[in-house]
Each structure stands twice: as C-alpha cells, then as structure tokens.
Structure 1
Amino acid sequence: MPARAADLTIGASAFPLSADPHFYNGIGDRNLSLHLFSRLVEQKGDMSLTPGLATSWKLVSDTEWEFTLREGVRWSDGRPLTPEDVAFSISRSANIPNSPLGYAPFTRDIARVEVAGPNSIRIVTRQPSPILPVNLSAISIVAKHVVEGAESSDFDGGRAAVGTGPYRVTRFAKNERVEMERNPQWWGERAEWDRVSFRFIANEGARSAALLSGDVDMIDSPSRNDLPRLRQDPRFRVTSTPGNRSILLLPSFLEESSPQAADNDGKPLATNPLRDLRVRQALSHAIDRKALAERVLEGTAQAAGQFMWPGAYSYTPDISMPEHDQVRARALLAEAGFPNGFRLTISAFADRPDFRTVAQAIAQMWTRVGVRTQVDAIPASSYLSRGARHEFAMPFFSWGISTGEAGYALTNMFTTMDARTGRGPANWGAYSNPTLDALIDRAQSTMDDSVREQLLIQGQKIVAEDVAGIPLYQLVNFWASRAGITYEPRQDQRTVATGARSTP
C-alpha cells in the first residue's frame, strides 16, 4: 500500500551498523545521522558549507578557531544545547571502542576544545588546520547528559539517541529498518514528512521492485537494468549527479606473501608479488576502465585514473588514466619474473552486486594477461574488519571523499597506518611512504589554499607513480521516486528525507 502523504518510505542500499553517529564512518550510518543529529557546520549536497549548530566561525590565530553557537537549540528531550555538549562530542568521536572505521582522522589536529562563553567554543589545534570547518561537518554533536557513560548499543535501543536533527528515532531494527518521526524541537526549517521509514534493501533489483510495486516511495542506487524503464514510465522520476565516491583496488604491500597470491600450482610464493611496482603497473594496464564504466556498469559510472574528479579542488590533470594495454601488461609481468603469471584473489563486498560484477570483469581481464584471478565475495559485516586487519591481497574498495579535497583520501588510505594518531584507518594495503607522509602533513597544515593544493597534487602523483592504489571509476549517483516526489540529487551520495519534496 502506498504511504500516506505525511509519510515517506525509502528503500536504501546501505544500512547503518549503529544509530551511534560516531561508531562507523559509512554511508548508511552517515545517512541516518543526518536525520537525528546536527553538526557545528553542515555540508550541502554540492559539498559547500553552511551554518549548522554554529552560526559563524572565525580563525583567531593559525591554531585557534572560534565558533559561535546557535541560540535556542534544544535536544529532542527538551534540554538546551550547551558548549559542553560540543566539547564532549568532539572528544568522544575519536574514541569509540571496536569501531571498524571511525572519525579520528577528522579530529586528529585538535589539541583541545575550550568553552569560551555561554554560546561559543574555541578549538585549539596542534598545528594550523585549514580545513577544520570541513572536517567538523562530519562530526555529529551528541547530548552529553545522556551519552556520557553510554555504549553504542544504547543508541540502537533509543536511550542515547537524543539529537538536535529534524527527526528522532522510534525504532531501530538492525539490518532491517529504521523508523523516525518529526522532531518538534528541531531548530531548522520544519521537515515536510511526519514520519520517515528507511527500509534496507541490499539487492538493487529488489530495491527497484519495491519502488515499482509501491512498497516504497523512493530508492537510492536503482538497478542499472531498471533505469531505462523508470525513466520512461510517467509514474516515476529519476534524478542523478556525478558523485564523490571513488572505486579502487588496494594492493597489499605486506612483505609476507598471502595465500591469496600463489603460484600457478596454488603453492605459496616466496614473496608478495604485489610489492613489485611492475606487477602493480601490469595489473593496472590490464584493466579496461572505460569498458567497466560504459558496458559493465552501463553508464552509471565514470572511468577514472585518480580518485579526484575533474573540477574538484586538488584534481590533478597530469595524472592520466592508465592505458588499457594487454601487451604491455604481459611484458611487465615477464620483466618482474612472472612470464607465466600467478594466481590472485580479488576480495569484494558480497552485499553489493555491482561490486561483485565489476570484480568478476576485472578477474577476467587479469586472467587474459596470465594472472589467473578469482573473486571472493564476503559479507560487509566481516569484510570491513578483515580489510582493516590487512587480510586481503587485493581488496575492492569504495571511498567517498566527503571533504571534496585529496587530503582526505591521502590521509585515510595512503599515509602510514598509526592507530595512536588516527592515521591511515582505511590503508588496507599497508602502503607506507615516509616522503608522502611528510608531504601530506605539510599540506594539511598549510593555510594558503593554492600552496596546499599544489602539495596535495604532488601527493597524488606519488600515489599514482607507486600504483599504491588502482583507481577504477567514480560512481554517478542515482535516485528514483514515485511521480509525486522529487529528490534533490547530492554529490555526496547522501539519501536524506529533507531532500525529498512532495509535488502535485
């Protein structure tokens, strides 16, 4: 039965691991937190910044930022927002036990947060931090009076899920659905929908079927096979925009050889072949990226040779897309001592059919140049934790660049992993380059935008020359809805009820 006009039901491709907005920096968790919580600085769909709980911010010195808090904001339980809530949230966000991918990279520059007055805070950084407002747009502010001493599971049960967002949670059924209702304490523009339900439907075909049957009002990431039909059917609307999410492979740089990289008889190799630059170059040249984007994904992606997109700050025009060249790939493999290739396993999300399909296509391309490749599809629940432990020789990886600049990707995926400082939490390949580390540190503390951009470009060139990752494509974001609803497409891939409007 179609939902009433006051209700909105969304079929979502990604489900949150927790209602705790600090537990996991994943797309499903971010989608949910945008409904329940607010941030000092908010990021719009085009990735520009706008005031949130802070109405203004200014640089007091190279290492001090002052934020003026919005007056009159109340939590969903009626208590007023305080500067102490903000200080508590920033500290908590970097220290969540058992987080598979947390928020420490966004706050690692912060030395301390000071309460500067009844409606202001001062953030002191360890070094100049030019993109601190951008980083803070990722940190949800939680209520100290209910969250202090609580665990992430207390959010799932609703006790700690007290927020200042447009909605409040009424039911959280993990891996199934989240039910929300309008938050009467919300400080912003009144939300259109009385109630919002997120149903988590991992299979893209099932999502499209749910929309076609009227079980949901809107879906994200509709099946590419269904897009032509949805576009032509007057009962539905499709919106899209180029996205900020890059898909790449992260080859292992561990010294010891993995069972996932073996000789042609299946026996372990003496050393890890992926540490050889020529092998990584060969695998990159063996991939036909345009075929992946245009044929395998049927135009729902844009082929890429880097993780930034044209027109973005710190995009690097000098990095060209590696040419698809099987002859060169075979020559490089022979030069590296593998004239007959070897065996390799690509690890991929089992929960994303498009990722599995692309991984299978790449496996065939590599097999054609002598690297006999198979795909191991693994559920997300174990894939994330295993990847963080460097258990994969060649993981298939998806990364949304939420800050809109290369420093975010470089710091998370390619700087040397260090849990103490929050470096490299997504460095699944265990890549380590002291020169790159120093350059990124310098870039992240350079206040001059043009100088910092050049440093970030240099960092990307190092990554490209080392083939520290193998970029494949950037996703195009799609949403489909029934004809009575329009959705404002977002480059950041977020699916939010506040972006959906009812129309005649």
Structure 2
Amino acid sequence: MHTAFNRLVVESNQKVFCFFKSKFDALRSEYFKTVFIFIFCLSTSVLLPSIFFPDLAAAKDPAPLSIAISSEPASLNPHKKRVVSDQMLATQMFDELITSDNNWKIIPSLVEGWSNPDELTWIFKLRRNVRFHNGDLLTSRDVIFSIDRIRSKYKEYAGSFTTVDSYEIIDDYTFKIKTIKPDGLLLTKLTWIFIVPEKYIKTAGETEFEKNPIGSGPYKFVSGNTKKLQLKLNDNYWKTPAGIKDVIIQYVPQADQYQALLNGSVDIVSGISSDEFEKLKSNPEFHAVYVESSMFYYLGMDVKREKTPKVELDQNPFCNQKVRLAVAKAIDLDEINKAVFNSLAVPASQIANNLVFGFNPEIKIEERNIEKAKSLMKEAGYESGFKVVLNTPLGSREKIAHMLARQLSNINIQVQVQPVETKLFWNSIFKEDHEFSFFLAGWGVDRSMDRTLGQLFASRTGETQGKINFTMYSNPRVDELINLANGEKNEDKQQKYFQEAVAVIMSDKPVIPLFSIPAFYGLSKRVEWNPPIDPVIQIKYIKFMENKNSLLDSLKGIFK
C-alpha cells in the first residue's frame, strides 16, 4: 500500500511540474495568469536567495568589533593620563601633530611639513581641510589651544614642552614654536600630542567634553564611558577611512579575558597568559598572535624617603645602593621567564631595547649570585633582612610578584605581595607622596630614551620633569646629561649623553629591569590583524576577514 501511495505522490508531483512548465501559455484566464506570476515571483524572491545564496540572503552589516582592554582608562580626555589604556582610546578619536610608523620612524600626521630656519625656531605647516567630528575645520588655533591646555593643566604631557619658550599662530595653517635652547628631540616630543577642538570645548565646557569627546580621528564617539565605549567610523576622515564601521572597547579584567574571547563577548584580547595563548594556538576557532612588545616590566624601590611606608624598619633599606644591588642579584629571571612567559620574554639590562635611540649595549644583565647578594646585605647592615610589602596591579604581574617574593627570601627579605586593582594602583602611584615602597610596574618605551629618562629618572625639580619618577630617584649628573641631550642636535653626541645617563642609572639601581615582555593576543576567527611592537591598539589597521562565499562563488557552484 505504501508503494502504491508513494507512486501516486511521484506521479502527482510530475503532473504538477509539467503543468507549470508546459501549460502556462495555455492558461486562458488573465486572472489565473496574474495569480501565478505573483506566487511565482514571491516564492522565488524569498526562497531562491536562501536556497542558492545563503550568505547573500543573510548579508548585513557585521556586528561591531569588540576589543577588551585589561586596564580601565582614567578618562576620555586625551591629555589627562599618559598610560597605554588612555592612549588606546585617544588614538581612535584624535590625531597627533606628528606620529611614527611601525619602525618608530617620525612621519607627518596633522602636520604635513616643517622647517627649522635657525636652531631655536620651528615652523610647522598643517594639513588643510581636516575637520573635527562636528564639522569644524582644524586650524592653528586648535593647535595652540591644545598646547596651552596641556601646559596649564596636564603635567604628564607637559614634559614634551620643557624646552619651549613660545609658540604663535602665523596663519590658519601655519604655526611657530621657539625653544629656549636647541632641541633636537622636539619632533619626537610632539608625537602623542593630540589636538582638541577649541571652539567646542570653550562652548560646551570641559565636563561636557570629557563626557562627549570630539576629535578629528578615524572614529567618532557614540556613547559610553571608560568601562565600555562605543565608536563609529568617521566617513570624512582625512586619511583613507578604516575598514570597520562600528567598534566597542570595553574594560575586561585580565583574568576574565580568555573566557570572554571563548564565549564570543569580544573579538580581541591582549591580556591573556602564555598558557592561555598556547591553548588558543590549537583552537581552530581563533587566531593566536605573539609579538615582541615595547612594554617593559621593572621592580621599583623608594630610594629617597628615610622612613618608607611599607617597610617594618625605622630606616628605609632601599636608600642603600648595596641593598638594591643585592635584590637584583637574588632574582632568577630565567625561572620567572619560563614559568610566566614560556621563555618568550627578553630579560632586560635597562628599560629599553636595541631599537630605542640611546640604548646602551655595554650594560649587561645582573647575573644571579645568591652568595654575593648575601654579602652585600651584610655589608649594608641588613644581614637579618627585613619585611616589606610588594605592590603590583592585579593581573599577569601577580604571578611574577609571588615568584620574586620566594626568591628574595633567600637573602632574608620577607615580601608580602599585595595586589591592587589596576586603576587604583596607577591613581595611587601618580601621587607625589605615594604609599608604595616596593612595586612591580610596567613602562612602554618610545623610539628615543628622551621620555623614559625625563619622566622615570629625572629629578622632580619642576612640575613636568620626573612626573613619573615613582622611585623619587635623583642624581644631578643624570639631570645634566638629560639636559645636554635635549639641547644637542648632533645625533651621535645626543646618543652618547643618553647612554651615559643610562649607565649611571643602572649603576645606582633605583629600578631593576626585568623583561621586555611578549604581547599575547587572541583574535576571533573573523578578525585579521598583525599587531605592531607598540602596545597601543590602533583600530584603523584591523580588518574583518573577507567572506570567501561570494555571490560569484555561489553561481559557480550552481552552474559548473
């Protein structure tokens, strides 16, 4: 019976097909012709794309690119904090006067050219027809306003202008800077100087600007705050527009980033561990990318205060150079590197690598020597050791901190590791008289030693120099060498000044360089990106993977 029924169904289907195929012209009723055409068009318009071109039928704008950052930025104000997380937000919405390429070579940005008619004068030409996101033209007035704003309010960036005597508008697209003394590093200092709109800020006010920032960069602010920020492509960008339309940047604690990538909450993570990186390498649903970065980890000590907050002694032992050297000689970098970075980090002799102008190749990494370290502790009067708290931001540095604590117990230094929420850590340590005696921190180097020396190691003699000198280190010779380098236009002489300053600092040991750390990135399968050495992610270089199942491919598949 089933066979007979199946035969009947087949025969019925064949008859229906033949009817539509050969009898259509025989239909005499215009009414039925109209109904047939309507049904046929409706069915083919709905069904054919989904049957033959599923990718075409589902085609729509892709979901926003979602990027996780492991440190919450302090502000949407591009001049407020000079740290990676804040610069990461700023570089999407704002443009620099001058920038550098992936090899750290200085190249034009908003400034398209410059001249140096005498040793104290610089003339800069701005690009024409660059507009802020609200449509206002970017002119020399905005540049001068931005420089004034930085120098008067934001000391972390104001260090770029320590040699500047005056600056003035020549015309809408030309401005002049005069320096107190020759400054061969002025162009380098003008990188990361973001230009903000004078008219908008003066009209709306600073508070409104921080809530709804307007720049001239590749992406526009849509909504959000430092925890989660939504951006939209600037279609009128003066450079070639980026390839991704919508972006979300969100703060995700380092410990949660790997899982956030796996569950599809984000497309890019940069805070994963080496173990998580290895797992991603074997997962075909993701891309695992590793690059050597310009980020360094270092151990810092309070070398100034006689009584330091987190050491259980009346006298600060870190004021003694022999104690600092003993700490360096007690550390086993290879053990930490293997355990934390799968031996992919590069042990550091100084807070720079050989790509940095001013790197000193004569300085060697301190070799581990426990007996020598014990001898130094005895000579310094601390043979019995002491107790100290080691502070570090939450995240990847915690494991390093605990390993350092164990290693330093070999010379009777009893270390209590005290991790601090990342934003709180940086807000605390930036205070003039912060509470950290012993800390594990990070620093991203530039193409030149100028900023590293001027910010981390110059004496805190003014409001700009030594602003990030968390160790409170001070050496008149280092200050002199920094000033000599800043005033020298001959690069060979300039480099020698930097190298000597580095040698003095590494002998004094206010910090102990640990590693140039590798950057481990996890990417969703739809993302195509080759991260540079710079840890600041620039979205304009990121793409979505091209859809291989194009309409042409589908047609080929049907008619081959």
TM-score range, shorter chain: over 0.9
Q: Which residue does 2:362 correspond to in 1?
A: 318
Q: Residue 398 in 1 paired to residue 442 in 2? A: yes
Note the C-alpha offset of 1:300.
Answer: 4.6
Q: CA deviation at 1:315?
A: 1.4
1:118 maps to what in 2? Answer: 172
The match for 1:218 among 268, 272, 284 is 268
Distance 1:285 1:413 in 2: 22
Query: Is the contact between residue 286 and residue 522 of structure 2 (CA under 8 Å) also seen in structure 1?
Result: yes
Paired residues of 1:89 and 1:142 also in contact (CA < 8 A): yes
Question: By percentage of residues, which structure has more helix?
Answer: 2
Q: Deviations over 1:200-232 (max 9, x none)?
A: 11224x211111122212222323221112112
How many angstroms does 1:317 deviate by?
Answer: 1.3
- Residue pair 1:46, 1:492 contacting (<8 A) in 2 also: no
Shift of 1:455: 0.7
Unpaired segments ≥5 residues, structure 2:
1-59, 547-560
- Tell whether 2:70 aligns with 1:18: no
SS of 1:59's partner is: strand
1:261 shift after superposition: 1.6
Q: Which residue of 2 aligns with 1:76?
A: 133
- 1:239 and 2:289 are equivalent in the alignment: yes
Residues 226, 254 of structure 1: alpha-carbon distance in 2 compared, 3 angstrom cutoff: same
Alignment of 1:38-57 (within 5 A): 38-57=95-114
* Distance change (3 Å), C-alpha of 1:4 and 1:230: farther
In the alignment, the residues of structure 2 paired with residue 357 and residue 4 of structure 1 have an alpha-carbon distance, to the nearest angstrom, of 42
Alignment of 1:168 onto 2:212: no
Partners of 1:151 and 1:391 in 2: CA distance: 34
Which residue is 1:135 aligned to? Answer: 189
2:520 to 478, 493, 500: 478
Residues 479 and 58 of structure 1: CA distance in aligned 2, closer, same or farther (over 3 Å): farther
- CA displacement at 1:152 relative to structure 2: 5.1
CA 1:236/1:382 → structure 2, altered by over 3 Å: closer, same or farther?
A: closer
CA contact (8 A) 1:220 1:495 kept: no
Query: Is the contact between residue 274 and residue 340 of structure 2 (CA under 8 Å) also seen in structure 1?
Result: no
Q: Summarize the alignment of residues 67-466 of structure 1 with structure 2, pairs less than 5 Å apart.
A: 67-96=124-153, 102-148=156-202, 153-158=207-212, 161-174=213-226, 176-204=227-255, 206-262=256-312, 268-269=313-314, 271-350=315-394, 353-388=395-430, 389-402=433-446, 404-420=447-463, 422-466=464-508
* CA displacement, residues 222-280 of structure 1 (integer Å, 9 cap, x when unaligned): 23221112112222222232111111122112242224122xxxxx32x2111111101
Tell me the equivalent position of 1:265: none
Distance 2:297 2:526 in 1: 33
Given the superposition, is the C-alpha separation of residues 259 and 80 from structure 1 closer, same or farther in structure 2, using an over 3 Å criterion? closer
**Aligned counterparts of 1:32 and 1:107: Cα–Cα separation in 2:** 23
Query: Unaligned regions of 5+ residues in structure 1, if any?
Result: 263-267
After TM superposition, give the deviation of residue 43 of structure 1 in Å.
2.4
1:385-440, Cα deviation, whole Å (9 max, x unpaired)? 432323211122211113x22221111111111343x1101111111111111111
Q: Partner of 1:395: helix, strand, or coil?
A: strand
Larger radius of gyration: 2
Higher mean alpha-carbon deviation, 392-401 vs 79-88, is at 392-401
In 2, the alpha carbon distance for the partners of 1:230 and 1:309 equals: 28
Q: Deviations over 1:286-323 (max 9, x none)?
A: 11122222223323522112111134322111110001
User: Between Structure 1 and Structure 2, how many residues are aligned?
Assistant: 485
Quick one: distance in 1 between partners of 2:95 and 2:301? 37
Q: CA RMSD in A?
A: 1.8
Q: 1:217 to 1:355 in 2, by over 3 A?
A: same
Per-residue CA distance 1:436-476 (angstroms, 9 max, x = gap): 11111001111011110011000000001111211111111
Distance 1:378 1:13 in 2: 14
